[in-house]
């Protein structure tokens, strides 16, 4: 059943386009101009809401990696398990673009295996923004900035956790930490860096 997101309109949050990297705006606008959904995603949105300068700006979109590559001459696709588009602006600026993903159904896992793991381990099953939000690690990293109407979109309670200073795993913590044990270290890092409770 779809989740109704919390949406903060432009006059109810502090983020403006002047706070963003101009190259990330170029990417967002070009994707939109070609009919794709395009959001600023993850830690960049979190940091802007906290009044911090993000170290990078990432984009989420419904465009596939191949569609992104066709729109940007300065794009290269990386990753085998998790295909990403890297759009280079000069030597110093890189905008990472990821296609929205979802948790795969059991029948979508490939049969071929390498080292006991299914090939491509279902990392490239594309989905909706909502499904993508639920695949992310922590609620405060699953916030989206919509370039179309300048709103903040929250499917997972990240705005409330950001306000209350809480680092919360999305979904079952045992399952999510088993998927990627590095998440435990990231939780501690965010807690120390932001002064938030686990």
Q: How far apart are CA 16 and CA 161, in angstroms?
A: 21
How confident is the model over 109-152, as pLDDT tens digits?
A: 555 555 555 454 455 689 999 999 999 999 999 999 999 999 99
- Report the run of H or E that residue 136 belongs to, with start and end: none
Q: What's the pTM?
A: 0.88
CB atoms < 10 A from the CB of 131, how many? Answer: 17
Contact 57, 45 (CB under 8 A): no
Best CA proximity match to 130, nearest among 7, 31, 44, 22? 7
Question: Is domain 6-166 in CATH 3.30.460.10, yes or no?
Answer: yes
Domain borders along the chain are 6-166
32-64 pLDDT, tens per residue? 999 999 999 999 999 999 999 998 999 999 999
Pairing of strands 58-61, 93-99: parallel
Tell me whether residue 137 is one of the annotated catalytic residues.
Answer: yes
The catalytic residue among 47, 62, 132, 137 is 137
Active-site residue flag, 58: yes
């Amino acid at each position: 059943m779809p989740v109704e997101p919390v949406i903060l309109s432009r006059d109810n949050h502090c983020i403006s386009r002047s706070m963003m990297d101009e190259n990330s705006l170029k990417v967002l606008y070009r994707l939109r101009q070609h009919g794709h959904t395009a959001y600023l995603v993850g830690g960049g949105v979190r940091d802007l809401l906290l009044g911090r300068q993000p170290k990078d700006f990432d984009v989420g979109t419904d465009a596939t990696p191949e569609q992104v590559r066709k729109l940007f001459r300065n794009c290269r696709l990386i990753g085998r398990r998790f295909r990403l588009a890297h759009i280079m602006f000069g030597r110093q600026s890189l905008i990472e673009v990821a296609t929205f993903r979802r948790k795969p159904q059991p029948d979508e896992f490939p049969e071929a295996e390498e080292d006991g793991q299914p090939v491509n381990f279902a990392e490239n099953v594309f989905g909706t923004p909502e499904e993508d939000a639920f695949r992310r690690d922590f609620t405060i990293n699953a916030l989206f900035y919509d370039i179309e109407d300048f709103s903040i979109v929250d499917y997972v309670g990240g705005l409330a956790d950001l306000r209350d200073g809480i680092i919360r795993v999305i979904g079952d913590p045992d399952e999510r930490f088993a998927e990627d044990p590095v998440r435990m270290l990231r939780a501690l890092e965010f807690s120390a860096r932001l002064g938030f409770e686990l």
